[in-house]
Amino acid sequence: MEESEIFDNVQQVNEAQPGFHDFKLLRTSAHTSLYLAYKAGKRFAIKATKDNTALQTKILQREYELSINCDHPHLVHIYTLEDGLPFGLGLVMEYVEGRTLGEYLKERPSRKERNRVFSELLSAVEYLHKRGIVHNDIKPENIIITRADNTLKLLDFGLADNDAQYALRTLGCTPQYAAPELLNQSGVTDARSDIYSIGVVMRELLGYSLIARRCVKKMPERRYANVEQLKKAWCNRHLPLRILLSFLLLAVCLLPTVLLIQTKVKEQERRDYQERIITQMERRITSICETSIVAIEQSPYFEFANMHMMVMMERCRESLDSVINKVDDQNLKMLVNSRYQFIFGNYCKEVADMQWGDKAPYLMVTPSEHHSFYDSLIANKLPYRPYPEKE
């Protein structure tokens, strides 16, 4: 068949059936029926009352008035309110090929998909609240998930806005998802009533959480005040965990650095201590040796110079021992001793290199007649004194 012939056939059918036709009942509730119908080759969903009573008709008209100006990707679009249909007055709306939220959950969607669906629900309800509309009947049966791309569509404004209290007294709602103030008719409904229902749906969709727990508080003032607060809490749901992970990551990254710094600090402290001990020893040895060298240089006799040299050696050794005895580190003891040998050796070399000049014969040679005198001093442990001059 040619394309033109197909077009002519479709046009003839549309002309033969200009209005809605081929009605098919999709589902029924206590007071409404939902039909699938065709018009101009397109599919539409039509919501009708079950008994066409004055109250049911008023509720259907009110739903049309509330939703006709709503335009949101996650709300089922309302087109018109038609009268004269086979079943009476009908609300014509967008037909969504999908399944209810309850049926969708049986397919075991991923956590990421369920998170996205919940975000879309918040977006739809927030849009309604900003337009002053409270849905009052949020439940899985009124949430459709499209088969094409699993997008959420919220429908059924039958109990919305200020008519909700009156409607509940006559039509009722689903107690499992309704806020206590709706069931008890104990207060004015507002955004917090929808937040309660969202909390119940959230537990079924995502499981238990502190956010859902706050949503379903019995007292409205203990729930989130509006969807904006709920969305903020939802967006920041992982913030405590992220903060904890950040601290853990920071600790893991900083721990080696802290340990390294501590090691460096201890190493520096050890070096400073070593340097302090060695410097202390050097100053003492330097002071002793320089004082002794002055005395040696000024000695008129070799015996005096030798005496000062022996005193210098004893005092340096005592000073070295006093420093080493305070140290427990064997490596440091070796460093101190090595440094001592170097410094003391330089001073000994300085003494050996002294130029005695004309005093050399007297200083460097001890006459034989002096030997017995010096031996007697040593034997009797007498202090050193010069050999007495002959008269």
What pLDDT does residue 309 have? Answer: 86
Mean of pLDDT values over 47-62: 87
Mean of pLDDT values over 44-48: 93
- Would the pLDDT of 330 be above 50? yes
Distance (Å, whole) CA 154 – CA 117: 11
- Would the pLDDT of 169 be above 50? no
Q: What pLDDT digit, counting tens, does each position of 126-162 carry?
A: 999 998 888 888 999 999 999 999 999 998 876 665 4
Distance (Å, whole) CA 157 – CA 67: 7
What pLDDT does residue 160 have? Answer: 61
The answer to whether the beta carbons of residues 117 and 205 sit under 8 Å apart is yes
Residues 6+ apart with CB under 8 A from 323: 277, 280, 281, 284, 336
- Would the pLDDT of 344 be above 70? yes
Helix (H, G, I), strand (E, B) or coil at 286: helix
Distance (Å, whole) CA 288 – CA 295: 11
Task: Give the pLDDT band (50/70/90) at residue 354.
Answer: confident
Q: Which of 40-49, 179-188, 256-265 has the highest mean pLDDT?
A: 40-49
The answer to whether the beta carbons of residues 386 and 301 sit under 8 Å apart is yes
Our measurement of the distance from residue 186's CA atom to the centroid of its chain's CA atoms, rounded to an integer in Å, reads 43
Q: What pLDDT digit, counting tens, does each position of 70-113 carry?
A: 999 999 999 999 988 998 899 999 999 999 999 999 999 999 99
The answer to whether the beta carbons of residues 100 and 140 sit under 8 Å apart is yes
pLDDT greater at residue 306 or residue 142:
142
What pLDDT does residue 284 have? Answer: 92
Distance (Å, whole) CA 89 – CA 318: 119
List of E strands, the chain = 21-28, 32-39, 42-49, 78-85, 88-94, 98-100, 143-146, 152-154
Buried residues in 356-368 as b, exposed as e (16+ CB within 10 A): eeeeeeebeeeee
pTM: 0.61
- Would the pLDDT of 381 be above 80? no
- Would the pLDDT of 16 be above 50? no
Our measurement of the distance from residue 258's CA atom to the centroid of its chain's CA atoms, rounded to an integer in Å, reads 21
Q: Does domain 19-94 have CATH number 3.30.2320.80?
A: no
What pLDDT does residue 43 have? Answer: 93
In one-letter notation, the amino acid at residue 277 is I
Per DSSP, what are the bridge partners of residue 52?
none
Tell which CATH classification among 1.25.40.10, 3.40.50.150, 1.10.510.10, 3.40.50.2020 matches the domain 98-241.
1.10.510.10
- Would the pLDDT of 166 be above 70? no
Task: Give the pLDDT band (50/70/90) at residue 173.
Answer: low
- Would the pLDDT of 10 be above 50? no
Task: Give the pLDDT band (50/70/90) at residue 226.
Answer: very high
